[in-house]
Amino acid sequence: MIEFVRNVRLWFAPEEIRQEGSTPDYRFSLANERTFLAWLRTALALIGGGFAVDQFLPDLRWAWRVGLALALLAAGVLCSLRAVNHWMRCERAMRRGEDLPVSRFPAVLGLLVAVVAVAMVVVVTVGWEG
């Protein structure tokens, strides 16, 4: 937990990351940044999907609509937070000459999106009032 709090502090103080280790090849830092931006695009798509479910499916039973919308919105929030944390952890690892950090988050996010997709298939198959 203490390491996580330290990581969150570093999100807002990237100049402290530069004090660790040596400067990596800029191409790796730029690739890390592109990955960060891809995660943010994914987060925005999930958030947009959550709003779309809530706003454009008014005939869907309230519990389904709110449940699916909240699942997508929560996934978007987690994805955006994970993006900045992963960027910082990778940048630190590259500067220190360590292996890049591994994460279970892509698997968790993939499963969450799959569950929401299966729920949407059920809703579409059974019908809006189901």
**76 Cβ contact list (under 8 Å, min separation 6):** 43, 44, 45, 46, 47, 49, 50
Q: Show pLDDT as tens, one digit a residue, over the chain (130 residues).
A: 677 777 888 888 888 888 889 999 999 999 999 999 999 999 999 999 999 999 988 888 888 899 999 999 999 999 999 999 999 999 999 999 999 999 999 999 999 999 989 988 888 787 655 4
Distance CA 105, CA 82 (A): 8
pTM, whole model, 2 decimals?
0.83
- pLDDT, position 121: 87
- pLDDT, position 130: 47
Distance CA 115, CA 109 (A): 10
- pLDDT, position 10: 85
- pLDDT, position 93: 95
- pLDDT, position 83: 95
- pLDDT, position 32: 95
* DSSP secondary structure, 29-50, as one string: HHHHHHHHHHHHHHHHHHHHHH
CA angle at 94 for the pair 89 and 97, rounded to the nearest 5°: 120
CB 17 within 8 A of CB 96: no
Distance CA 129, CA 59 (A): 7
- pLDDT, position 129: 56
